[in-house]
């Protein structure tokens, strides 16, 4: 299908639309308006219509959106039919929780290889995923053609590992460390700082009403 030039903010909302549309279809809903979808995903209806407009005429005035057709469309946009293999670097408490989560049940990604320095877990299977020595990082990522990695290591080693990941062909890093990684423009980094998110939430609770914080 043709490529679409869309804003980053819109791109970040697409997986949310996809998940809710899947839930709606599973519940037997066949069509939905932007207002009804707004109630489900908590984005205003105007934002939804604007997001959808980047992809052409997805709905009909007076009818709304066909849930099955819309789900199929976003499935193609998000490449849901292609299962992406992901590397997890760092199998501590957070890393183990991510292994247990089992991404591929709700998305088109799965953790296929994990890496750690702890000799007690290297060469074992955790939640169905093999754990390799960090020394084997380059070989396994190359052999398995992995292009996405999740980083849950101490901040002191995060930059070095990011360089190694980039050198062996990784194109995207989901970074759970507090360090902001220095990588080339060819590598996309998505930062997930849980401490920062919690502190932000507490700040808004203490200083704003729920409506003002949105």
| List of domains in the chain | 8-77 (1.10.10.10), 84-196 (3.40.50.720)
Task: Give the per-residue pLDDT at 1.
Answer: 40
Tokens 């849901």 locate to 80
Q: Is the pLDDT of residue 3 over 60?
A: no
- pLDDT (tens digit, 9 = 90+) per residue, 106-135? 567 889 999 999 999 999 999 989 999 999
Q: What does the mean pLDDT of the chain come to?
A: 87
Quote the percentage of the chain above a pLDDT of 70. Answer: 90
Known binding residues for NAD(+): 90-95
DSSP β-ladder status, 84-89 and 148-151? parallel
Compute the distance between CA of residue 86 and CA of residue 102 in angstroms, rounded to an integer. 11
Q: Which two tokens stand for residue 69?
A: 């057709």
CA–CA separation, 77 vs 88, rounded Å?
Answer: 25
| pLDDT for the residue numbered 22 | 85
Q: For residue 213, what pLDDT is reported?
A: 58
**Which residues are known binding-site members?**
90-95
Mean pLDDT on 54-82:
79
Tokens standing for residue 74: 């976003």
Q: What is the mean pLDDT of residues 159-175?
A: 96
Give the integer Cα–Cα distance in Å for 175 and 71.
29
């Amino acid at each position: 299908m043709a490529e679409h030039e869309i804003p980053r903010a819109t791109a970040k909302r697409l997986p949310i639309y996809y998940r809710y549309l899947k839930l709606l279809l599973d519940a037997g809903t066949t069509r939905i308006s932007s207002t009804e979808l707004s109630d489900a995903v908590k984005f205003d209806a105007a934002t939804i219509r604007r997001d959808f407009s980047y992809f052409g005429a997805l709905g009909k005035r007076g009818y709304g959106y066909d849930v099955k057709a819309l789900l199929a469309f976003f499935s193609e946009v998000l490449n849901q039919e292609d299962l992406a293999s992901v590397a997890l670097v760092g199998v501590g408490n957070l890393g183990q929780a991510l292994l247990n989560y089992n991404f591929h049940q709700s998305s088109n990604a799965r953790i296929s290889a994990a890496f750690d320095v702890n000799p007690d877990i290297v060469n074992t299977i955790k939640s169905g995923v093999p754990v390799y020595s960090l020394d084997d990082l380059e070989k396994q990522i190359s052999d398995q053609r992995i292009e996405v990695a999740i980083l849950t290591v101490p901040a002191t080693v995060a930059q070095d590992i990011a360089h190694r990941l980039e050198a062996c062909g990784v194109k995207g890093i989901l970074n759970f460390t507090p360090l902001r990684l220095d990588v080339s423009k060819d590598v996309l980094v998505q930062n997930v700082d849980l401490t920062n998110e919690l502190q932000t939430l507490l700040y808004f609770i203490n200083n704003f009403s729920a409506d003002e914080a949105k």
